[in-house]
Structure 1
Amino acid sequence: MTNLPFPDESFGAFLFDMDGTILNSIAAAERVWAAWARRHDVDVETFLPTIHGRRARETIGQLNIPGMDVAAEAIALAQAEIDDVEGVVSIAGAEAFLTALPANRWAIVTSAPRRLALRRLEAAGLPVPALMISGEDVAHGKPAPDCFLLAAERLGQQPQDCLVFEDAAAGIAAAEAAGARVVVVTATHAHTPETRHPTIASYGHVSPRLDAQGRLTMAGIATIARP
């Protein structure tokens, strides 16, 4: 069991990012965002790597396009993403892992609007959690820690007692700022990222367990990478 992330530790709750962490929506997201970028004369190749892990309003806002109504563009983009879920699939083992968790001990914490998150979960065949924190629920999106702090609070946990599953730099930074522990999911990465955190390639060889004290641990065999 030494290959498991945090093999000797237990947690009060597990917090999951959505896109790239429990489901793969890259193809759909990049289709929509590439079309939007071309309409606004934004270089697609350099722009697409910036869209992951952050709220649309912040991704658009950083472009500083004169006269652009950022809020209206973010709403239109969200609807376009709701309309295009072709190729959205769950990451291996995610469904079994999530359904094995006690309902009051996990949450999805995503930068996506709630309607889009629900649509992608449906498309991927994943369960809707009792608690989901969306990009609309906080004043400051990732990499600010607000979303993970709110999720921990609503689950009745301290953020330091939560394990966050993330894939994107903005989300990892948000989890670190919240004081949570982090596992990086590499399923959608072309190359294993450089990170000081443990990594898992998928959920196919890990499963959640409750220990004798009723705390969450992981069992099984996972791929782990440390510097």
Structure 2
Amino acid sequence: MTNLSDCSFAGFLFDMDGTLLTSIEASKRVWGRWAARFGLDAATFLPNAHGMQVRDVIRLLDLPGLDPDDEAAAIFAAELADMDGVTAIPGAGSFLTQLPADRWAIVTSAPRALALRRLDEAGLPVPPVLICAADVDRGKPDPSCFILAAERLGVAIDQCLVFEDAPAGILAAERSGATVVVITHAHPGRDAVHANGIGDYTDLSLEQTSMESWRVSCPGRARS
């Protein structure tokens, strides 16, 4: 298990939904309406789908006669129109302002337009490097999204700290070779989901340890 207080990192990669902001209630409404059209209960598949690209979720449902890309476009349009309840995870904005602008990125399974809309709604900054669904051929749990973000930051992936919340994203980050911190704020009851699990960013602080690296500490909250 990694003890964060003993490590320094050159890059910081963040998932968006459930990690920097919460959009779960909006997603439940949109997916609930979509699922009802096909006689499905979204609660039976949505928890396991969190963090995945929409078209991949629809493919896994294997519903006859559906075009995953067409359905994904319809869900995207509905999500873009529903921002009710989209808010920043506590402390996220303050923590992001501590990071060097050229050393952090967002890596999300959302389309770019939706990512920008939700970040704006939550009052969070947009980094120069924003990896979205269209930027990779394979979505999470494939690690290529995190590897691409590290490449665009110009740092090695094993020198990156990834902030995630969803099983697919956690697996992708671990497969990439990065160190992972799991944010549990959007998922009450998941406190033990990962060795480095914390509720939110409220107690996080950043310390520069060299010209090219920084240490993140969270007294009394991150477990090792």
TM over 0.5: yes
- Give the structure 2 partner of residue 221 of structure 1: 219
Identity in percent: 50
Unmatched 5+ residue regions in structure 2?
A: none
Q: Is the 8 A contact 2:13 2:161 kept in 1?
A: yes
Measured after TM superposition, the shift of residue 65 of structure 1 is 0.8
SS in 1 for 2:80: helix
| Aligned counterpart, 1:56 | 54
Q: SS state of the match for residue 97, structure 1?
A: helix
| Matches of 2:191 and 2:221, distance apart in 1 | 13
More deviation in 215-224 or 74-83? 215-224
In the alignment, is the contact (CA less than 8 A) between 1:182 and 1:197 conserved in 2? no
User: Aligned partners of 1:38 and 1:67: how far apart in 2?
Assistant: 16
Q: Shift of the alpha carbon at 1:209?
A: 2.6
How far apart are residue 189 of structure 1 and its match? 1.2
Q: Which residue matches 1:201?
A: 199
TM-score normalised by L of structure 1 = 0.94
RMSD: 1.5
Deviation at 1:108, TM superposition (A): 0.2
The TM-score with structure 2 as length reference comes to: 0.95
Q: In structure 2, what is the Cα distance between the partners aligned to 1:172 and 1:137?
A: 19
Shift of residue 216, structure 1, vs aligned partner: 1.6
Alignment check: 8 A CA contact 1:5 1:222 kept: no
1:123 aligns with 2:129: no
Give the whole-Å Cα distance in 1 for the aligned partners of 2:48 and 2:170.
15
Distance in 1 separating the partners of 2:61 and 2:143: 23
Greater shift, 39-48 or 57-66, is seen at 39-48
Contact 1:28 1:81 in 2 (8 A): yes
Distance in 2 (CA, whole Å) between partners of 1:107 and 1:82 is 22
- Tell me the distance in 1 between the aligned counterparts of 2:194 and 2:67: 38
The number of equivalent residue pairs is 223
